[in-house]
A and B are shown apart, each in its own frame.
Chain A
Amino acid sequence: MTSPLIERTDAAATAGARLRRVQPTLVLAILVLVVVLAWAVAPGFFTPVDPVQGDAAAALQAPSFRHLFGTDATGRDMFSRTVYGAIHSLSGAIIAVTVGLVLGTLIGVLAGSIGGVADDILMRLVDVLLAIPALLLALSIIILLGFGTTNAAFAVGITSVAAFARLVRSEVVRVRHSDYVEAAFGSGGRYLAVLVRHVLPNSLTPVIAYAALHFGTAILAISTLGFLGYGAPPPTPEWGLMIAEGRNYVATSWWLTTLPGLVVVLVVVSANRLSAALASRR
């Protein structure tokens, strides 16, 4: 066995080629998310108009160059409100995803790695959580915690814990029975070390993809709660609340509901597209 084998398989080369091929829808999705993120970070840069102060003389104006998204009944600029609303929706979605991801991963890893009775108990609890409709669960939690954007986001996060826990558990169980985990134990790896070094990193790819998907769902859920009046109080420019406020005028001033609604749809679809890209990258 003297000659070193140096031929390479082309698996690495094709993976590189797949990454380099530009996917237009993915680029568009990332662009949308970047713009919305920029709105959240520096809203003043995109619109000089105050989102809360209205100009009564310019109430209920249709979209124009002066007011891109039109104005509402008190003369507030809807585009400005949408831009300033990004921070509420995004931070809410980030809180929701973090809560779901962290608690769900914790439960899933515990259930999947300990197994046995602990697994049964944890997963039956998760089943109970899954059996309650998400919106009902979120509303109950908000009523317990009190109204507000942060509480609404937290509630939305709790509703996703069960789904995260299930996904993480199934991944942990799959990886735990793989040969390389057995080999790691055979190499003298201790239980926790193997869990952290081998099981967790190999379990998390689909979980990250699901987190991106849930990011979109969370924005939608937070907007739903805002629409129902369980989220931010008026006059906060929160997307769900804006749509709710506009629905009395839907017959005469379509832009009040339609344009913020379209922004929500765009962001959700973009998050889904990004999630699909993350999921296919293995």
Chain B
Amino acid sequence: MTDPAAPLIVADRICRDYRLPRATLWGPRPVRSALREVSLTVHEGESVAVIGESGSGKTTLVRILLGLGTPTRGTVTFDGRLVTGTPRSRMLWLRRESGIVFQDPYASLDPRMTAGQIIAEPLRALDIPGNHQDRVAEVLDQVGLTRDSVERYPNEFSGGQRQRIALARAIAHKPRVLVGDEPVSALDVTVRAQVLDLLTQLRHELDLTLVIVSHDIGLVQGMSDTVYVMTDGSVVESGRVERVLADPQHSYTRKLLASVPTFDD
């Protein structure tokens, strides 16, 4: 689109503070910083992983990247356009460019809608031209679900299948960026591997830029190009995956790597 060397998503020193309830009657309201000066860059076609334990601010970060949350300070630009400070109603262009998959496939699908309606949701909401039914059938193939899934409700599917529906919804409108907020951590180990394979496969087939948030550093190998390690609202280490895995600089990254179960030594 623009200069190919220019990054697609740039987050510049984002902070997000939450004001907590007063601890004492007259005292000031304490502030908890979920994000402290987090900067992040995603290039077109790149696969980026944000790794950190729960409470490290990674979900807050992806919400802000997609304009679903607002930072206290700092800016986010997407393809050169400012995301932060834009009202939600004027962010349809960003919705067209992005799709999101949430952690819990049991909570992220409306129980009163059929899989077909769920997957067609972005097509309908964004007024994507073309035959929506055909497109839904096409995405179902891409995520490995049968076409008769269209008429069925979420409670008729298993966890892995539901996550495939969520994935189908996220890519139905052909976004450039797919964001996953812990997309596999609610799934059991074998299903998890399948969904991860599917993510990688879709990324190559559809030339997607991938931003995956996870608590599991074991996931980045073979999947991501760049990794950001977060703890307590700050990025403590970032870089190419091979470099970070082979030569972690920060003690927290080393701690994370040590906790990954391996078969060989």
- Taken together as a complex, chains A and B put the C-alpha atoms of A223 and B9 apart, in Å, by 67
- Across the interface, do A185 and B156 meet the contact criterion of CB distance under 8 Å? no
Return the contact of B158 from the options A5, A190, A191 (Cβ within 8 A). Answer: A5
- Taken together as a complex, chains A and B put the C-alpha atoms of A7 and B145 apart, in Å, by 11
Q: Which residues of B contact A202 (CB under 8 A)?
A: 110-112
Q: Which residues of A contact B166 (CB under 8 A)?
A: 183
- Across the interface, do A186 and B156 meet the contact criterion of CB distance under 8 Å? no
- A228 close to B (CB within 8 Å): no
Q: Which residues of A contact B121 (CB under 8 A)?
A: 184, 187, 189
Quote the shortest CB–CB distance from B135 to chain A (angstroms).
14
- Across the interface, do B194 and A188 meet the contact criterion of CB distance under 8 Å? no
Give the number of residue pairs across the A-B interface with Cβ within 8 Å: 90
Closest chain B residue to A12 by CB distance? B156
- A252 close to B (CB within 8 Å): no
- B144 close to A (CB within 8 Å): yes
Interface residues on B, range: 35 or more
- Taken together as a complex, chains A and B put the C-alpha atoms of A183 and B98 apart, in Å, by 12
- Across the interface, do B145 and A4 meet the contact criterion of CB distance under 8 Å? yes
- B78 close to A (CB within 8 Å): no
- Chain A residues bordering chain B, tally (CB within 8 A): 29
- B201 close to A (CB within 8 Å): yes
Decide yes or no: A5 and B110 within 8 Å by CB, A12-B155, A183-B169 being known contacts.
Answer: no
- B197 close to A (CB within 8 Å): yes
- A128 close to B (CB within 8 Å): no
- Across the interface, do A4 and B146 meet the contact criterion of CB distance under 8 Å? yes
Which residues 103-128 of B sit at the A interface, judged by CB distance below 8 A?
A: 103-104, 107-112, 121-122, 125-126
- Taken together as a complex, chains A and B put the C-alpha atoms of A182 and B166 apart, in Å, by 12
- Across the interface, do A182 and B122 meet the contact criterion of CB distance under 8 Å? no
- Across the interface, do B89 and A186 meet the contact criterion of CB distance under 8 Å? no
- Across the interface, do A4 and B144 meet the contact criterion of CB distance under 8 Å? yes
Q: Which residues of B contact A186 (CB under 8 A)?
A: 66, 68, 95, 98-100
- B157 close to A (CB within 8 Å): yes
- Across the interface, do A187 and B144 meet the contact criterion of CB distance under 8 Å? no
- A198 close to B (CB within 8 Å): yes
- B77 close to A (CB within 8 Å): no
Q: Which residues of B contact A191 (CB under 8 A)?
A: 88-89
Q: Which residues of A contact B256 (CB under 8 A)?
A: none
- Across the interface, do B160 and A5 meet the contact criterion of CB distance under 8 Å? yes
Decide yes or no: A188 and B144 within 8 Å by CB, A1-B197, A178-B107 being known contacts.
Answer: no
- B96 close to A (CB within 8 Å): yes
- Across the interface, do B110 and A189 meet the contact criterion of CB distance under 8 Å? no
- Across the interface, do B144 and A198 meet the contact criterion of CB distance under 8 Å? no
- Taken together as a complex, chains A and B put the C-alpha atoms of A201 and B153 apart, in Å, by 15
Q: Which residues of B contact A23 (CB under 8 A)?
A: none
- B198 close to A (CB within 8 Å): yes
Q: Which residues of B contact A183 (CB under 8 A)?
A: 100, 102, 108-109, 166, 169
- Across the interface, do A8 and B156 meet the contact criterion of CB distance under 8 Å? yes
Q: Which residues of A contact B125 (CB under 8 A)?
A: 184, 187-190, 193
Which residues 168-200 of A sit at the B interface, judged by CB distance below 8 A?
A: 178-180, 182-191, 193, 198
A198-228 CB mask vs B (1 if < 8 Å, else 0) is: 1001100000000000000000000000000
- Across the interface, do B96 and A188 meet the contact criterion of CB distance under 8 Å? yes
B interface with A by C-beta (< 8 Å): 66, 68, 88-89, 92, 95-96, 98-100, 102-104, 107-112, 121-122, 125-126, 143-146, 153, 155-158, 160-161, 164, 166, 169, 173, 194, 197-198, 201
Known: A179-B102, A187-B95, A190-B125. 4 other contacts (CB 8 A): A1-B198, A179-B108, A180-B108, A183-B169
